[in-house]
Amino acid sequence: MTETIVRLKKGEGRTIKAGGLWIFDNEIDTIQGTFKNGAIVKVEDFDGYPMGRGFINQNSKIRIRMMSRKPEQTIDDAFLNMRVRNAWEYRKNTVDTSCCRVIFGEADFLPGLVIDKYEDVLVVQCLALGMEQFKEKIVEKLKGILKEEGIKIRGVYERSDAKERIKEGLTKVKGFIGEEFDTNVEIIENGVHYMVDVVNGQKTGFFLDQKYNRLAMQRICKGKRVLDCFTHMGTFALNAGIGGASEVTGLDISEYAIQQARENAKRNGLESTVQFRCANVLDELPKLAAAKESFDVVILDPPAFTKSREATKNAIKGYREINMKGLKLVKDGGYFATCSCSHFMTQELFVKTIKEAAKATHKRLRQIEFRTQSPDHPILWAADESYYLKFLIFQVVEEK
């Protein structure tokens, strides 16, 4: 069978030449051979120089996602096993693996695929057509590698229900891979117990990327009055409670999330210290300020205000507004933690926006830490999309 060869335009392919994995539709000059969407193709530069192999999809603006930089590499079982084993060995060296992201798409050179491990359960999300053919093979290989470590996986659930699949010409998928099992999983992170609902929870059930940012807040919150905004399942609030906070309030607009948070507080024996309230944070913060409330620690963990480059301008306004509202509630000498989980809100833009919020509220900020996503969500340089979480901790001092 003749192999399909994709040749780039002269001067294009900058992303993959720098170490990334994406080739966009407007970078391609010619395609020689016939293929079906999702097939593996060979990629060459404009002058015929071999650049590697990846899967193609004409439904997507990301026309090719590279699987290997070796042009003669066969994408077979041995290759997939190597990729999965490398991903697991990396996690063993960098994070607590009881609960972690085992495969993080492009950053683990398995584009479009995410696999999260919650104790003895795996949750899979596939967002690329070309990865569909490998998805279940990769799951089986991961289960085999974990078994070698004495870790028996009791079930696998798929959460490929994100709208990104539509852009790939795929339908949303949600359900068991293999036998059915109890999808409520109790996990322990930073000493805090949670019940994760992998069927109905956000994304794959839980936000693992903030693991060590939550841990960083424990020592700051000891003996403090804390406000946790956009608390979701109560993650930052419960870390504050475990860290010895005197009083914690968590706010979230979702009644379902608040109910989960309350149950998690009970699970940790923190229900008398850590309280949760269903509220729209943007509306609630001005009400607290009007009531002359103030806190030793305010934490802002909002959802992404933008998921596209075009919407970034409005997102900046949103981040500026929420940070101004949060800063107004911090006591003089208190602490303020704020983050953005949007890839399009760059580090430079985010820092500029916080500076503007501080200036508008007449606050001085002393930076304690700048942090990003936990190491099981590695940032692959040249793959900008893998760097999305920015997390800053400040001491707040009023201008006098």
- d(CA 191, CA 51) in angstroms, rounded, equals 46
Q: What is the DSSP string of 99-122?
A: EEEEEEGGGGT-TTEEEEEETTEE
- d(CA 116, CA 128) in angstroms, rounded, equals 17
- 141: its two tokens: 């290989």
Residue 220's SS3 state is: helix
- d(CA 286, CA 284) in angstroms, rounded, equals 6
**Helix 255-267 and helix 235-242: axis angle, to 10°?**
20
Instruction: Name the active-site residue from 99, 100, 221, 341.
Output: 341
Which amino acid makes up residue 361? T
* DSSP letter (8 states) at residue 270: -
Q: Which DSSP helix (H) or strand (E) runs through 84?
A: helix 77-94
- 136: its two tokens: 């279940």
- d(CA 152, CA 65) in angstroms, rounded, equals 32
Dihedral sign computed on CA atoms, order 391, 98, 127, 17: positive
Q: How many CB atoms lie within 10 A of CB 308?
A: 10
Q: Do 295 and 227 meet the contact criterion of CB atoms below 8 Å apart?
A: yes
- d(CA 391, CA 158) in angstroms, rounded, equals 29
* DSSP letter (8 states) at residue 168: T
Q: How many CB atoms lie within 10 A of CB 205?
A: 25
Kindly report the backbone phi and psi dihedral angles of residue 281, in degrees, each rounded to the nearest multiple of 5, phi listed first: -55, -40
- d(CA 17, CA 156) in angstroms, rounded, equals 36
- 105: its two tokens: 């798409």
Asked if 278 is an active-site residue, the reply is: no
Distances (CA, A) of 91 to 88, 142, 199, 277, 362: 5, 13, 24, 36, 43
Q: Which positions are annotated as active-site residues?
A: 341
